[in-house]
Structure 1
Amino acid sequence: MQLSELSERSGVSAASVKYYLREGLLPAGTPVSARKAEYDDDHLRRLRLIRAMLSVGGMSVSQARDVLAVAEDPAFGRHERLGIAQYLLPPQVTPPDPAPDAAAHAAWTALRAEILALLRDELGWQITEFAPALDTLTRALTTLRDLGYRADVAFLQRYGEALRPIAEAEYQVIEEIPQVEEAIEATIAYTVLYEPVVLALRRLAHEDVSARLHPGTPNPGTPD
């Protein structure tokens, strides 16, 4: 197919396709003349992944280029390829960092180590100490504590036990995708697009629990 058809079938504008070609995100097509090239289904698949990384995942062009380099490197296994793509996704919520002094840094380091120990030892999770989500958890608990709210590390165990089956169900779907680029695309989609689903269901569950604790009270938003 020519570039115009590639654009039409992928839903990506011709200008964007040309930009991805210039930036090295999309491999060049097969030349058929001095000014024309042919593209195939591999280019369609790559465009879907690029769109997932940039539009859905919010990655920069340089981050997307890093993911693609790993995806094409046979030295990396499937677990590493999917993991690196997820590591480069921006966090959904980033509370403020603690004050950059020695005491705050020591408290941060101790709390992060405590969270990692709980996930590894109590839940048995196989995660690395470099996972960006560990920093997100540490920031969140630090902010809660600074504001005077309960933020016990042990409380995270309930969340972990509830979310693990969800992660297993998602990755069963991803594992059925043999093509690595498509699996990376699915990993990004499940990570980014399903996080709002989890958060929304949690808020609805809060409403249900509160309503059961206070029977007979009008629900919020109920017309007078």
Structure 2
Amino acid sequence: MHLAELSRRTGVSVPSIKFYLREGLIPPGVPVSARKSEYDEEHVRRLRLVRAMLTVGGMSVGQARDVLAVADDPAFTRHERLGIAQYMLPPKVTVPEPDDEGRAAWDAVRGQICEELRALGWRFQDGAPALDVLTRSVLTLQELGYETPIEQFRRYAAAIRPIAEAEYATITQYEVLEEAIEATVAYTVLVEPILLALRRLAHEDVSSRLHYGDEGEVRRA
């Protein structure tokens, strides 16, 4: 297919495709003349992945290039290839420097989080960015004077594990690596707001039942 057809198939503008070509995010097409090239289904899959990483995932061009470099390197396992894509996704938090005043508290909380999760049988890398997000949130709660009971933390972990298993049951159905990475990005970025919204609606439901009883009036738009 020509460039215009590739644009139509993927919904990515021709100027954007040319930019991705210049940046090395998608491989060049097969030249058929001095000014035209042919593209195939591999380009469609790669372009969809690039669009997911840059627009849905919010990655920089450099981060997307790093993910693709790992994806194209047979030395990495499929688990590692999917993992690097997730590691590049937001949110990111600033970790205190080793000589910062709050580093000791940071290390203590992060260590406790790792200990609790591994006690549940979870397997993850010590450098996982999500650990930093957890650490920052727990530390901030403590600084504001709120308790973070371990039992509640364990309930959160127990509730989220089946959700992750169901999502990865879907992701593993994508045998083509580019499609699996795209699905990983989509499930990570797009499902998290759904989980947050459902949690807030559940809070509203619990509060309503607490204050008005199970038979209380529910206002509808």
Q: Same fold (TM over 0.5)?
A: yes
**1:117 matched to 2:93:** no
**1:141 matched to 2:138:** yes
Alignment partners' CA distance in 1, 2:72 and 2:11: 24
The one of 185, 189, 210 equivalent to 1:188 is 185
Q: Post-superposition shift, 1:222?
A: 6.7
Q: Is the 8 A contact 2:95 2:132 kept in 1?
A: no
Deviations 1:97-147 (A, max 9, x none): 6698654111100110000000001x1101111100000000001111111
Alignment partners' CA distance in 1, 2:133 and 2:99: 19
Q: Is the 8 A contact 1:114 1:153 kept in 2?
A: no
Alignment partners' CA distance in 1, 2:87 and 2:97: 25
Q: Post-superposition shift, 1:90?
A: 1.1
Task: Mark the CA change 1:51 to 1:186 in structure 2 (over 3 Å): closer, same or farther.
Answer: same
Alignment partners' CA distance in 1, 2:109 and 2:187: 28
Partner of 2:170: 173
Question: Identity across aligned pairs (percent)?
Answer: 63
Q: Which amino acid aligns with 1:37?
A: S
Deviations 1:31-79 (A, max 9, x none): 0011110000110101100010000000000000000000010000000
Structure 2 unpaired stretches of 5+: none
Runs of 4+ residues over 3 Å off in structure 1: 96-103, 216-219
Structure 1 unpaired stretches of 5+: none
Task: Give the secondary-structure state (helix, strand or coil) at the position aligned to 2:35.
Answer: coil
Q: Post-superposition shift, 1:215?
A: 1.4
Q: Is the 8 A contact 1:98 1:139 kept in 2?
A: no
Partner of 1:203: 200
Task: Give the secondary-structure state (helix, strand or coil) at the position aligned to 2:33.
Answer: coil
Task: Mark the CA change 1:213 to 1:97 in structure 2 (over 3 Å): closer, same or farther.
Answer: farther
Partner of 2:16: 16
Alignment partners' CA distance in 1, 2:200 and 2:67: 33
TM-score (normalised: structure 2): 0.93
Partner of 2:154: 157
Partner of 2:106: 108
Alignment partners' CA distance in 1, 2:63 and 2:3: 25
1:7-46 maps to which residues of 2 (within 5 A)? 7-46=7-46
Q: Post-superposition shift, 1:152?
A: 3.0
Task: Give the secondary-structure state (helix, strand or coil) at the position aligned to 1:127.
Answer: coil
Task: Mark the CA change 1:222 to 1:7 in structure 2 (over 3 Å): closer, same or farther.
Answer: closer
Alignment partners' CA distance in 2, 1:205 and 1:150: 21
Q: Is the 8 A contact 2:171 2:184 kept in 1?
A: yes
Deviations 1:74-101 (A, max 9, x none): 0000000001100010118x5x766986
Partner of 1:63: 63
Alignment partners' CA distance in 1, 2:99 and 2:67: 34
TM-score (normalised: structure 1): 0.92
Task: Mark the CA change 1:2 to 1:82 in structure 2 (over 3 Å): closer, same or farther.
Answer: same
Task: Mark the CA change 1:12 to 1:29 in structure 2 (over 3 Å): closer, same or farther.
Answer: same
- CA-based RMSD of the aligned residues comes to 2.0
Alignment: residue pair count: 219
